[in-house]
Amino acid sequence: MTFSYPVLVRWSDIDSYDHVNNVRYFDYLQEARIAFLADVFGVGADEFFGRSPVVLVSQTVDYLRPILLRHPPYDVEVWVSAVGTSSYTLQSRIVDHAEGLVYCKATSVLVAVSADTHAKRPLDEAERAALGRHVAAA
């Protein structure tokens, strides 16, 4: 199941080449990832990290084409591609459905941690079930 999150390009996101600076892609991916996980676990975005804390341990981005300043928003699609013992992998891409274009593809690995000690912990059954309902292949 793929989740879609709209992102508007802000004027401050634009670099001297008149397109979105590549570092901002990470911001867009993070905004969508937080919204996705809040949706997956059925809580508000602010509540999510208190209830099911995770740490982003790896993220790779393949830049496919420049994002330009425009209105309407671009869509960031997010889905679960794998669930492990204490970690899970999310796939994302920034797209324009109207034009049929993909601007980037990303892979993010998150590890569950204890809220008190910040040590790695196993995913509990409720987390595994919630994530399992959102596993998709794209």
- Mean of all residue pLDDT scores within the chain: 92
Look up tokens 């990290």; give the residue: 49
Give the pLDDT score at 74: 97
Percent of the chain with pLDDT over 70: 93
pLDDT 10s digits, 40-55: 988 765 666 666 789 9
Give the pLDDT score at 46: 62
15: left (phi over 0), alpha (psi -120 to 50) or beta: beta
Averaged pLDDT for residues 99-125 = 95
Torsion of CA 108, 112, 115, 118, to 10 degrees: -80
Averaged pLDDT for residues 125-132 = 93
Residue 14 scores a pLDDT above 70: yes
